[in-house]
Structure 1
Amino acid sequence: MTPRQVLFGGTAVLAVLTLLPLVVGANVIDKLTGLFILMLLAAMWGLMAGQAGLVSVGQQAFFGLGGYFALRLVDGGFSAYPALLAGAVGAAAVAWVMSFFLLRLKDGEFAIATWVVAEVIRILVMLDPLVQGETGTSLLALNAVEPALRRNLGYGFALVSLAAMLLAVWWLMRSPVGTASRALGDDDEAAASLGVRVMSTRRAVYVLAAFGCALAGVAWLASAVTFLPRTNFGVQWSVLMLFMVLVGGLRSLAGPIVGALLLFTLQESLGDFGVWYLAGVGALAALFALFLPQGLVGLWQERRARQAAQAASAAAPPPADASTPVNPTRSIST
């Protein structure tokens, strides 16, 4: 698809989803808000791992920090919804500072360090009297908003955040930074030898992904109202990101979205089975890792490529010696 077609199609879908609260009930709005949050998380983790080769298991730090900063800003006198956006910006600023230390690590060291840092941040947040430790707290300013309006505003916030970040990722993947990040994901040493600015490129990807995860966190807070450190900073968010990207496909923008849709479907159909649902999700992720590492979108792309190659081969003219037989009776004119 051409860039114009992508933008036109995305704008049309956004317009339909914007008007959806006028025709559907509260339950549908709540479920779609949750789906948008999953899609946003998946797209951010796919950007990091699929494009720049940064495998993090600590993105829940920014999911929780966005909500925590929003709580602090509201406690300091900010209005609730501007505080949500400002909280996400604050989390991105923390990610920028952290990047100077974390991005010096590679592979497993980086993954473990991100998880350790996320746990340290969670513990520090729990020490804040405003949060009340494991008890948590609520963004009470949102309770002053009429429930139906609050639900629709939360839906709109999640939808706009998802659309903005998908547009940012799509633009980034088509920019020189995106080309450099893909080169780093393939072989960082070879990319550096070709002049790619390793740290600045990875920092741009890391901070953008952190901002997207923080937006997902504040969208979750706007919907749930309650802030619980063990939930908002829970490692399950990174596990879900990994599952969605692994199943959907790493190296494309569509892969994480497909993975989020599949996870959402599993949650809605099998979520009542409790631990068996979690076991099934884990088993499905293991099967994809072993037998379909390219994910569903990668499988579809490979199939399309094979079909295109077969069609091109069938349309090609046969070799000249096979299509033009030699006439032994034909004489050579002089």
Structure 2
Amino acid sequence: MTTQVTSYRVERSTKASHIGTFIFIAIAVALISMPWWGSRGDMRTITEFLYILALAQMWNLLAGYGGLVSVGQQAFVGLGGYAMVVFSLKMGLNVFASIFLGGLVAMVLAIPTAAVVFRLRGAYFAIGTWVVAEVFRLLLANTTWLGGGSGVSITSAVKGISRWYRESIIFWIAIAIGLGSILLVYTLLRSRYGLALTAVRDSEAASESLGVRVPKVKWFVYLASAFGCGVAGALIFVTKLRISPDAAFSIDWTAAMFFIVVIGGIGTIEGPIIGALIYFVLREFLDDFGSWYLIVLGLVSVILMLKAPKGVWGVIADKWDIRFFPVQRRLKFEEKGDKS
């Protein structure tokens, strides 16, 4: 007589995740060596892609996993950029070290910001974050010490550094920020903080009843996102060699984050990667059409939100059950024949 014995096991890693790890390492090695074989134009394009990807991952961490929908993340992009200016131009510190110090300053200034905006909920929270970003923009626009509304050049901060060395260091920092943002989100979500974070996103009341410290989790993710946006912002303006309040605190930064995350797949690590690729392809083909470029981006976002709320990656993952960065544990059932 043969009976079926059902067994199960808990798994997190998948075959796709092992392949993804190999691809991730191969891409990292290829990028790190690129200054010795790649063109400057390609390096600048990849640098831009990487810091935009980092911004998208930080917004996805905040909104997609934390449930904190902010339209004011440009505040930390600008604060990181201006902090870099203060450290490098005014204090004479190394401009590359100032990039990471800019992230720390953005995180510190996120503390009083959070104390204000966390009093708000829903749409009021989103509007409040935008208002705070505008306050920072106006403050910097009226600070003549930092160039006021016309901004300031950063050229003197990199004076004396050879072009190859400067571009290579910037490129390597972009790799650290772009790929590091993926690893940061992945590591965080696989920890107990990640479990608490998604629980708070789904229901604050239910998670609090289970012992989750909701305020602590929200503060943690908000500060982490501010640091990531601050570092990316500092890098952005080192590459541009000039900063102004209108450019640093432009809502276009948050609009790009929103578009990339929504079109790629909110609440997934792979989504912002796919979304960033789509964003750059669309921008490449539509860049010569002026305002039509933004109109097309908006239409694509609306259509995808209606037809595929989970984004491009959500459709792919559901259809083929692919997870390159799995963060959830899943039960796998197996039936075995047993003779008795």
Asked if TM exceeds 0.5, the reply is yes
User: Matches of 1:141 and 1:207 in 2, distance apart?
Assistant: 28
Structure 2 residue corresponding to 1:106, chosen from 121, 127, 130: 121
Residue 248 of structure 1 corresponds to: 264
Question: What's the % identity of the aligned pairs?
Answer: 34
1:71 has 2:85 as partner: yes
| Amino acid aligned to 2:177 | S
1:234 corresponds, among 250, 260, 273, to 250
Conservation of the 8 A alpha-carbon contact between 1:130 and 1:137: no
1:22 matched to 2:41? The reply is: no
Alignment partner of 1:81 is 2:127: no
- 1:144 alignment partner, SS class: coil
1:148 to 2:159 alignment: no
Choose 1 or 2 for highest CA Rg: 1
Please give the secondary structure, in 1, of the residue aligned with 2:262: helix
CA separation in 2, counterparts of 1:103 and 1:14? Answer: 37
Instruction: Report SS of the residue matched to 2:145.
Output: coil
* Higher share of residues assigned helix: 1
Unaligned runs of 5+ in 1: 307-314, 318-334
- TM score, norm. by length of structure 1: 0.88
The one-letter amino acid of 2:96's match is Y
Structure 1 stretch displaced more, 185-194 or 144-153 = 144-153
For structure 1, which segment, 80-89 or 235-244, has the greater mean C-alpha deviation from structure 2 after superposition? 80-89
* Letter paired with 2:137: R
| Unaligned ranges ≥5, structure 2 | 1-12, 323-333
What secondary structure sits across from 1:104 in the alignment?
coil
Larger relative contact order (C-alpha < 8 A, sep ≥ 6)? 2
Counterpart-to-counterpart distance in 1, 2:119 and 2:27: 40
Q: Under a length normalisation based on structure 2, what TM-score does the superposition of the two structures give? A: 0.86
Query: In the alignment, is residue 117 of structure 1 matched against residue 132 of structure 2?
Result: yes
Residue correspondence of structure 1 range 252-291 to structure 2 within 5 A: 252-291=268-307
2:26 paired residue number: 12
Q: Which has the higher strand share?
A: 2
Q: Within the alignment, does 1:41 sit opposite 2:27 as a pair?
A: no
- Look up the match of 2:237: 221
Q: Deviations over 1:283-332 (max 9, x none)?
A: 111111222111011111221249xxxxxxxx999xxxxxxxxxxxxxxx
For residues 181-200 of structure 1, what are the structure 2 equivalents within 5 Å?
181-200=197-216
Count of aligned residue pairs for this structure pair: 309
- 1:28 deviates by 0.5
Alpha-carbon distance, 1:5 to partner = 5.9
* Cα distance, 1:100 vs structure 2: 2.5
Deviations 1:163-187 (A, max 9, x none): 2222111110101111111111111
Question: Residue 267 of structure 2 aligns to a residue in which SS?
Answer: coil
Question: Within 2, Cα distance between the matches of 1:250 and 1:305?
Answer: 17
How far apart are the structure 2 equivalents of 1:145 and 1:7? 35
